[in-house]
Amino acid sequence: MKRGRPPHDDVLTPAEWRVVHAVRHGMTNRQIANGRGISLDAVKFHVENAVQKLGLDGRAALRKWRGAPRGSALSKQEGTMTASKLDLGPIGQIARHVADIDKAEAWYRDVLGLTHLYSFPSSIGKLAFFDCGGTRLFLETARDGKPGEQNVLYFRVLDINAAYEDLQARGVEFTDAPHMIFKHPDGMEEWMAFFKDCDGQALSIMSQVKA
């Protein structure tokens, strides 16, 4: 009987996929290690393995590499969507950077009366989400101490890969490839890809793919 872990039927192992998603989201190795609760060496090991398996030229290439785990909701969606004219919107999410996340969470919930969806910790601090009539408000602590100056609009799209290709063909500069940022308990996946507007400010396309 062979010992060790069973072989995976995908190009990357589940652990490698988790790290690759985080790399494509712009997280540093230390942020990934803190967020996943693993060592820095383990993150570096997974990154190096992924780069080698995919035949890429380093971490920068990995961030812009397109790919989805076999069996994921997005991979199952591929081939079932029909090509259509690019349709950005409605806006699915707006990011708001705040000075004190706990204070802001209470204020938006208790003063403005917005419906609090959920909050959870991450490697960059606590994240809080609210519903604004169908548009999700995402609150996080400002990383540079300047709350309100780093807002991001997230445009909802039906097929994130098709939208990514269409926008690239129009000369849009993406900072990363479509990547999964969260998987809900019911199996629904949230995928995003960030790009820049004409002034270099961050925008994103997002897609919620049901299992």
> Each residue of 177-193: pLDDT tens digit?
999 999 999 999 999 99
Length of the chain: 211
- How far out from the chain centre does Cα 103 lie? 25
Whether residue 125 contacts residue 141, with contact meaning beta carbons closer than 8 Å, is answered with yes
pLDDT of 116 over the 70 cut? yes
pTM of the model: 0.78
Q: Are strands 202-209 and 152-156 parallel, antiparallel or unpaired?
A: parallel
Mean pLDDT of 3-30: 83
* pLDDT value at 118 more than 60: yes
CB contact at 8 A, 154 and 192: yes
Mean pLDDT (the chain) is 87
**179 or 149: which carries more pLDDT confidence?**
179
Q: Are 149 and 97 in contact (CB under 8 A)?
A: yes
Which token pair is 152? 């991001």
Res. 80 pLDDT band, cuts 50 70 90: low
pLDDT band per the 50, 70, 90 thresholds, residue 176: very high
For residues 47 and 121, the model is more confident at 47
Does 143 score more than 80 pLDDT?
A: no
d(CA 38, CA 81): 37
Residues of the chain with pLDDT > 90: what percent?
Answer: 59
- Identify the bridge partners of residue 138 per DSSP, sorted by sequence position: 95, 129
Q: Tell me what pLDDT residue 43 has.
A: 96
pLDDT exceeds cutoff 70 at 73: yes
Alpha-carbon distances of 171 from 145, 174, 195, 197, rounded to whole Å: 32, 9, 11, 11
Higher pLDDT, 211 or 66: 66
pLDDT, position 205: 94
The two tokens of residue 125 are 């601090």
